[in-house]
Amino acid sequence: MGVLVVGSINADLTVTAPHIPAPGETVLGRELRVGPGGKGANQAVAAARAGARVSLVGAVGQDSFQADALRLLHAGGVNLSGVQVRPEATGVALITVSAGGENAITVASGANAALTPGDLPANLGPWTHLLLQQELPPDITLAAAQRAHAAGLHVTLNAAPSREKAPALLACTTHLVVNEHELAALAGEDKDVAEAARTLLTAGPRAVTVTLGAQGSLTVTDDGETHRLAAFPVTALDTTGAGDTFCGVVVARLAQGEALRPALHWAGVAAALTCTRPGAQAAMPDWAEVQQAGAGA
């Protein structure tokens, strides 16, 4: 069963520093790492490593960052026939990682911002699951969700980065995945996590998952179930890509017939393992490692 990812493709420029700079502050960091990134590409790699057949729709530029951005997608066997090479620059993310593993990210979208609904595949028949994020222009994200919903695909939306609430997009979403900040932006800051997640069920999703970092995750469903999963214990080195790993793995496991709760379990294990290594795609574990680590958890 195939997964279609419509999302961004970037090159990540990462520097580790003692702390994330405050406004106006200059911090001396260590060496610069250049690697593949972009939320769409990250989630595609994570899903492929979790055993799914994955295709990606996106765009890169005709520049020196193109090879870096596509390297691990090629290596992971992701179908890139839907990736365009455009005259705009390849998207670039500037990432600062603190000594404690937290990160701050600024993205120059480049070719990603040039994608339109006309770039989507005309036939969604080869896929059962669509995975979306919010780094692409809102019109292509909405069009992808609407077409997939109409075709009966399972639509997972990772509402990151935060954008203005889009009721039409939520109405086409099967599974909404957010962190606490994104949850507050969509449901308001005056509710606790479970209450806010249940509020969003009324907007259309059949399930809402809130990733909570070291506190694990919380999922509520429209049939009244609540899944609270503890975080898999690790010592975090770099949290970049952890959320994308979670999304890619949960969709991959659902696409392969896994039930929701075990899919969430494996996604949490994989996301935690990603935090133990530097980088995004390069840090993502393969399925054998996830199984070995999480079998007794």
As annotated, the active-site residues are: 244
Measure the N-to-C terminal CA separation of the chain; round to a whole number of Å: 27
Gap between the Cα atoms of 124 and 245, Å rounded: 24
Burial classification of residue 102, based on how many CB atoms lie within 10 Å of its CB (0-12 exposed, 13-18 middle, 19 or more buried): middle
β-sheet with 175-179: strand ranges across: 79-86, 53-61, 2-6, 129-132, 154-158, 175-179, 207-211, 217-221, 226-229
- DSSP one-letter string for 79-99: EEEEEEEESSPPEEEEEEE-T
